[in-house]
Amino acid sequence: MTQINVRVDGASYTDDVEPRTLLVHYLREQLGKVGTVVGCDTSNCGACTVHLDGQAVKSCTVFAVQADGCQVTTIEGVATGEGESATLHPVQRAFHEMHGLQCGFCTPGMIMASIDLLKENPDPSDEEVREGIEGNLCRCTGYQNIVRAVRQAAAEMSGTAADDPQAQPAAVDTAATEHVAAQA
Amino acid sequence: MTAVEDPTSAVDLPAAKEVGQARRRKEDARLITGKTTWTDNMVLPGMLHLAVLRSPVAHGRITHLDVSAAKERPNVVAVYTGADFAEEQGSLPCAWPVTPEMVNPGHPSIAVEQVNHVGEAVAIVVARSRTAAADALEAIDVDYEPLPVVLDMEQAVQDGSPLVHDHTTSNTSYHFVFDAGDAGTGGDTEQAFADAEVTVSRRFVQQRLIPAFMEPRSVVVQPSGDSYTMWSATQIPHILRVMAAMVTGIPEHKLRVIAPDVGGGFGGKLQVNPEEILCLLIARRLGKPVKWTETRGESLMTAHHGRDQVQFIDVAADRDGTVRGLRVRLLADMGAYLRLITPGVPALGAFMFPGIYKFPAYRFECDGVFTNKVPTDAYRGAGRPEATFAIERIMDELAVELGMDPLELRRKNWINTEEFPFTTVAGLEYDSGDYHQATEQALELLGYDELRAEQKRRRESNDPVQLGIGFSTFTEMCGLAPSRVLGSLAFGAGGWEQASIRMLPTGKVEVVTGSTPHGQGHETAWSQIVADELGVPFEDVEVLHGDTAISSRGLDTYGSRSLVVGGTAVVKAAEKVVEKARVIAAHLLEANADDLEFTGGKFTVRGTPGAGVGIQEVALAIFAAHDYPEGIEPSIDAEATFDPENFSFPHGTHICAMEIDTETGFAKIRKYACVDDVGTIVNPLIVEGQVHGGLAQGIAQAMYEEAIYDAEGNLTTGSFVDYLVPAASDLPHFDTGNTVHVATSNPLGAKGVGEAGCIASTPAVVNAALDAVRHLGVTDIRMPLTPERVWRAIHAGGDGGDRAAQGSNAYGGARTTESGIQEAAQ
């Protein structure tokens, strides 16, 4: 066992871990941070993505001991404030607004990867978003609404989003207006 | 004289309808913040963890199995083998004996004497931690006597083939036939072919696929006295409860099954899994809570697969393109065992091969074949993608044979909108639609004329990158299902769905549904439906599901059934609530119930402006129950069970424009446009999302995914490194649209949408690829369209060949192609 000191989502922890313990297992099993999930064994799916000292990492590729002395942010720590009054991160909000999730299992990793992507590139094109999140697999959405969400968040974070916070996905894309119009 | 209502009586304008609104999902709040309840998140006091030792051989007898050393490992509580459960494990259920003669060899949850596929459970370690259990697997000593491995269906059905199950007489489980002539729904198929001016025959391969839901399967069982609670990442808590009770002998009323947040299923979690039964048996034996969570490798190797058919399809037509007959013969790979609906999947497709076309004659035959592979079962579309692929591919082949435009051939033969309802040669009554309108809209979305012009330019300039355009004008049967129809197909259950509505004293509404979501957004859509039906705010509705103690009756989620069957049950329950409330409202308003109108959540007396009582007020009044009519119960809660009389038949036109680099074989979707008719759209965001996701999976079958076994029966695509689930960068932008022709089989007018994109897209993609390179002599390319396959099809002839070793996959290795080229299998 090795002792580590790590700050996760704003709280400090001191724990003994086996050297082979992966960061994701430490988060889930020792800290109860079960918002971060495991989707594969080969670091392909990205479901376990967290921020380690501000950078997106797949927490299944990091040993817990490597996080010693580091700051970790998980999906549970990106909103500001607590409980029902918490303010969502713009990327979280955009995933909701743009229907960028269905079953939601990939979503924590997808959101963490997207936040990191926007830090690197605050105004990505569709193609750049697709390239930027290619390390994260989603089986439900076909990615199109995730791309919309990331671009919507980018616009909001840079202050160029449409004024209407309830802007329809149709505002950034084609299809939804026709759906609504067909039933009006 | 017509009575005209006094306009002044409409005091309150009804609220805007919820159905049709792009409501953001209620489900999202917990999913985007990580406040989720995945089964693997569950921690219980004293909980033990399971790890499973799995067979590394595809077919063999267990000659030696010693677990004594594993039992001595630290933190190990118990180690079990098949011998420990041989007397009590029974057989995993198969609910669909498609023929009376079907051979079901039985399916132990853990192997006792023999293993029949790689990954089959052989021993189980129970330990204090996941890692301790996994570590102890190494200490188990096991030897196998290898048996001949049966992998190729076409070889497996030959006389003299080694048998997967030596207590059977052949590898054929069943022979299922549907003949329209015999059924009285069509003419004599053999005669139609004998008389035909043109016939086209093809052999298509539906490769084996893996559902690959993102959340690995996980099971927790907690014993409490003689009762058990099981949490499972399942699509089917209700069916699982019944089946697990029957398999284990635990009385049904002593077993509660909960599907908490479930991370996708796509049919892959429509199963009674060996590990679910084993967790129950071990929890019963130890009296302790246990958990099993699979690794991704275990999931890909042992969770059921999908598709895997060899399709022989013949079409007969007149020279002018009028179709005269259709003949289909399938070999369908069952794998080593029959799981829940393994044999029924190809039978579900049997009725959809005629597609949207007016065939006067049709015959379908299918052999279910055992091989030493993991069983196949439901995967998004289950039988219908296979049928749609075959018919949409061969319509293109017929068009080529006749020298006709593929769309012109389709138009000539499809059902016209004024012909609905239309009874097909397979005996199904299609409800509604307009294939012409959907096609015209899709052509416009695609920008068809420009792309055709560009294709011509590239063709003429001999551009190394060629362009092709492929169509799929599809329909599907969904909304499983009329119980009588399922009965006639020998399915072991009905197809109804149940809902109940509880009116709480504060006016809030609880809706209990038997349809269990795993990403589809039931909580949101059902809230919209109930908000309209009861005239209550969307926010005041809470939807409960997925727990057999809360939702006591249900048949769960698959086959695009939730909205059309489960949603209709909600509507029916709401109608009952209103009728019960009407009696009480009349009492409170001192009016005759017949004189009450109900709009916008309020009962008013016709012709008496101002007077009225809201249904939420009625809920409080009847909770107090101080003043209500005699002879009725003091409750306006209601439940309803809906059994549909027919399927619904969504349809659409999907068009793919594909670029093929003839020098590298690289295929890239240039543009994808589709127009789907799914009837009434309750929530356009959710509908669009379902279409997108379906497209991704259908395109993935065409271009990326294939479960491959080597010659020894090892799955060589057992990780996400090798099994190519597409990433964002692998998929195009989708241009989607809708037409709306309401379904006639349910009051919502809704048709299913969950499987549509997946069913429709695959043939459009392959047709597009062929359209790009057909002038180079290519007549077929085997899925998935890897660059290697495409290149070989262009440069070496044939269909691109098999990626696996000769004879190892279901579809043969080397074979002689139509052009007579003997292609080498690598």
The residue in chain B having the minimum alpha-carbon distance to the alpha carbon of residue A170 is B685
Statement: residue A180 has pLDDT above 60: no
Of the partner residues B519, B688, B692, the one whose CB lies closest to the CB of residue A104: B519
The string of pLDDT tens digits covering residues B85-98 is 999 999 999 999 99
Asked if A113 has any chain B CB less than 8 Å from its own CB, the reply is no
Task: List Cα–Cα distances, B734 to A114, B279, B674, B768, in angstroms.
Answer: 21, 43, 8, 15
Whole-number average pLDDT of chain B = 94
Rounded mean pLDDT, B784-795: 95
Residues of B in Cβ contact (< 8 Å) with A168:
22
Alpha carbon distance B359, B355 (integer Å): 9
Q: Mark whether A49 and A102 lie in a shared domain.
A: no
Q: How many domains does chain A have?
A: 2
Residues of A in Cβ contact (< 8 Å) with B28:
95-96, 101, 104
Expressed as residue numbers, the domain containing A19 is: 2-77
Q: Is A140's CB within 8 Å of B214's CB?
A: yes
3-state DSSP of chain A: CEEEEEEECCEEEEEEECCCCEHHHHHHHHCCCCCCCCCCCCCCCCCCEEEECCEEEECCCCEHHHHCCCEEECHHHCCECCHHHCECCHHHHHHHHCCCCCCCCCHHHHHHHHHHHHHHCCCCCHHHHHHHCCCCCCCCCCCHHHHHHHHHHHHHHCCCCCCCCCCCHHHCCCHHHHHHHHHC
Are B12-35+496-642 and B42-147+214-264+269-302 in the same CATH fold?
no
Q: Mark whether A51 and A104 lie in a shared domain.
A: no
Statement: residue B13 has pLDDT above 70: no
CA B403 to chain centre: 36
Q: Is A135's CB within 8 Å of B727's CB?
A: yes
Confidence of residue A164 (pLDDT cuts 50, 70, 90): low
Q: Mark whether A71 and A98 lie in a shared domain.
A: no
Q: Mark whether A93 and A166 lie in a shared domain.
A: yes
Domain assignment present for residue A184? The answer is: no
Alpha carbon distance A37, B244 (integer Å): 28
Q: Regarding the domain delimited by B306-480+646-796, which CATH topology (the fold level of the hierarchy) does it fall under?
A: Aldehyde Oxidoreductase; domain 4 (3.30.365)
Alpha carbon distance A43, A58 (integer Å): 7
Asked if A179 has any chain B CB less than 8 Å from its own CB, the reply is yes
Q: Mark whether A116 and A140 lie in a shared domain.
A: yes
* Residue at which a domain ends, from A44, A77, A110: A77
Domain assignment present for residue A158? The answer is: yes
Q: Mark whether A98 and A65 lie in a shared domain.
A: no
* Residue at which a domain ends, from A24, A54, A77: A77
Specify the CATH number for the domain of residue A57: 3.10.20.30
The string of pLDDT tens digits covering residues B208-257 is 999 999 999 999 999 999 999 999 999 999 999 999 999 999 999 999 99
The string of pLDDT tens digits covering residues A106-139 is 999 999 999 999 999 999 999 999 999 999 999 9
Q: Mark whether A93 and A164 lie in a shared domain.
A: yes
Asked if A30 has any chain B CB less than 8 Å from its own CB, the reply is no
Domain assignment present for residue A34? The answer is: yes
ipTM above 0.90, yes or no: yes
Q: pTM here?
A: 0.94
The string of pLDDT tens digits covering residues B752-775 is 999 999 999 999 999 999 999 999
Strand pairing category for A2-8 and A11-17: antiparallel
Q: Is A179's CB within 8 Å of B738's CB?
A: yes
Q: Regarding the domain delimited by B42-147+214-264+269-302, which CATH topology (the fold level of the hierarchy) does it fall under?
A: Aldehyde Oxidoreductase; domain 3 (3.90.1170)
Check residue B797 and give its pLDDT: 84
Domain assignment present for residue A182? The answer is: no
Q: Is B33's CB within 8 Å of A104's CB?
A: no
Q: Where exactly are the structural domains of chain B?
A: 12-35+496-642, 42-147+214-264+269-302, 306-480+646-796
Check residue B610 and give its pLDDT: 83
Q: Mark whether A138 and A122 lie in a shared domain.
A: yes
Q: Mark whether A73 and A88 lie in a shared domain.
A: no
Statement: residue A182 has pLDDT above 60: no
Q: Under a CB-based contact definition with an 8 Å cutoff, are residues B14 and B533 in contact?
A: no
Q: Is A180's CB within 8 Å of B719's CB?
A: no
Domain assignment present for residue A127? The answer is: yes
Q: Mark whether A21 and A63 lie in a shared domain.
A: yes
Domain assignment present for residue A178? The answer is: no
Residue the block writes with tokens 């998935």: B784
Domain assignment present for residue A130? The answer is: yes
Q: Regarding the domain delimited by B12-35+496-642, which CATH topology (the fold level of the hierarchy) does it fall under?
A: Aldehyde Oxidoreductase; domain 4 (3.30.365)
